[in-house]
Structure 1
Amino acid sequence: NAKAVQAQANQSNVYSDVDGVVDDVTAHVGETFTGNPLQGGYVRIVNNTDMKVVVTVPENYSGTISKGSKVIVEFPDGNPSFEGVISFMGYSVGLTTRGFNAEIKVPKNMNLKPNQTAVVKILDYQAPNTIAIPLNTIQNDEGGKYVLVAASRNGSLVAEKKQVTIGRFSGDSVEVLSGLVPGDALVTEGFQDLLSGQLLSTSEK
């Protein structure tokens, strides 16, 4: 009957459950088509209108990164970078990666292709008005960590030891949580051979 013929005709057509364009066809005329890449030929559909960047974040950042965290996404192939936020975070840690997935939505005007490589920089910590100093200026003694600053005494500059408590690291710099105040003149050269109270000399570069 007509319904049976129509049903049979419908089975000869292939429908995609997503919008997009055909990117690859491995099915050939006369072959059995299942739509499963593991069982033979298939048709790959690509949709470039709603793209996202997926990154695996190490599990030790699970307490400092959340949905809405700011990110910068860069592309090694020269495509423009963009700023965004994490739109989704996975709820489990991968057994092999020891990380969780995070997703960032790609702006509509980006000319990108699926499976491109991206570098994602995530803002996991910020401390407004913090004091950061070169890491190599930190020294240790029996009292803990300290730095030398230039202090004025009787019209002369002398080295003064200040015990410090440090916080987070960023490249070659370290955050100082306590021990220094804005305006302290940190000694950054020759400090290894200086003693507290020793006269300082300055030079212009």
Structure 2
Amino acid sequence: MKRIIIIIVVLVVVLGGIAYVLNNNKKKAQETTDFIAKGSGAVAVKTATVERKEMNLDFTANGNFAANQELNFLAENSGRVSRIFVDEGDRVSKGQILARIDAEIINTDRETAEATYQNAVRDEARYQSSFKTGGVTQQQLDQAKLATQNAKLRLQASQRRVSDAHIKSPINGIINKRYIEVGAVVAGTPGTQLFEIVDVSKLKLKVNVNESQVANLKIGNTVDIQSSVFPTDKFSGKVTFIAPKADETLNFPIEIEVANNFKNSLKAGMYGTAVFKFPKQAPTILVPRTSFVGSVSSNEVYVLNTSKNTAETRKVVSGRILGDNVEVLEGLKEGETVITSGQINLTEGTPVTVIK
């Protein structure tokens, strides 16, 4: 009997607690409802005053430096490496000899091509003399001339191969990697990788900007460049590429050519910051982005009628999007009040109450 009484008491306490919580929640919900729906069904909204402000178009973008030129140098001839004149880290100039391939077979081919060419020249001369006396036909003379021309082309090709036995740098830069050793046999087809050459006298800073930012950029714009690794050094860049199409994130890739300092401090792969600065803009009407019904492209806002405390629709012409604000070219006057929240519950003439 005593146990039953205890159970009943516990149940009463639990049910009382539940009733208290439900009643408390009901009061809070009623308070919220009363707050949102003040003044005989008026919709609670937030507002902002239409102001004419100066626009600041400056912005920054972060990215990575890439080498201005980066070349994986391949062998054009087959043979054995007989000399290497540079090592990793060495600075090289365009046309400088980097290594030499044993040209014994190549020289033999050139000598053979030289002899064939000289023989073709003598044959053409004999055919030319015989043609004058009627000893050969015009067709035979033409064939002799063609043979001479073909022999000359083969000689030029063999001379080029002899020249290519001296491996020369095609660009100015630094030897980043060396893939060959003296005595190694390289193949011309497909080409064996010999050196990786990187030019960091100039670099490319690759960044992404959004649609409102890219609208203010042009090829050739000068840009200040900052590096967190070298905060006291000053770098300057120039916009060399602006993507004509946005990527999958709806941003536009930009490339900025950056002149390295005399110490070549900047390295490919480092982080950099581009600081885009623009001339001072004339003051213009700005409203919060949230003022627009649906999206900025709707070109429609709700304006507060302060004498009637009602919402009125207004067609406007939007301009540039500047962060959380939007430029309005037509449709609003300075000093008017636009509604920035609660538009989903509004129609033309809906009574509203402003949340302070």
Structure 1 residue aligned with 2:300, among 119, 125, 146?
Answer: 146
5+ unaligned residues in a row in structure 2: which ranges? Answer: 1-82, 84-96, 101-165, 246-252
- Inter-partner Cα distance in structure 1 for 2:177 and 2:190: 15
Structure 1 residue aligned with 2:353, among 188, 193, 200?
Answer: 200
5+ unaligned residues in a row in structure 1: which ranges? Answer: 1-8, 95-100
Deviation at 1:105, TM superposition (A): 1.9
Deviation at 1:22, TM superposition (A): 1.7
What's the counterpart of residue 25 of structure 2? none
Deviation at 1:23, TM superposition (A): 1.0
What's the counterpart of residue 22 of structure 1? 175
Deviation at 1:51, TM superposition (A): 1.8
Higher relative contact order, structure no. (Cα contacts within 8 Å, ≥ 6 residues apart): 2
- Inter-partner Cα distance in structure 2 for 1:63 and 1:111: 32
What's the counterpart of residue 196 of structure 2? 44
| Contact kept in structure 2, 1:71 and 1:121, CA below 8 Å | yes
- Inter-partner Cα distance in structure 1 for 2:325 and 2:332: 15
Question: Which protein shows a greater Rg?
Answer: 2
1:129 aligns with 2:287: no
What TM-score comes out, normalization by structure 1 length? 0.55
| Contact kept in structure 1, 2:290 and 2:341, CA below 8 Å | no
What's the counterpart of residue 314 of structure 2? 162
% of aligned pairs identical?
A: 25
SS at match of 1:196: coil
Matches within 5 A, 1:100-111: 103-109=255-261, 111=265
Query: Which amino acid in the other structure matches residue 190 of structure 1?
Result: G
Deviation at 1:25, TM superposition (A): 0.6
CA displacement 1:89-123 (0-9 Å, x = unmatched)? 59xx89xxxxxx96422142484333567787989
Deviation at 1:184, TM superposition (A): 2.5
Deviation at 1:71, TM superposition (A): 5.8
Greater helix fraction, Structure 1 or Structure 2: 2
- Inter-partner Cα distance in structure 1 for 2:177 and 2:189: 12
Change (3 A) 1:27 1:162: same
How many residue pairs are counted as aligned between the two chains? Answer: 176
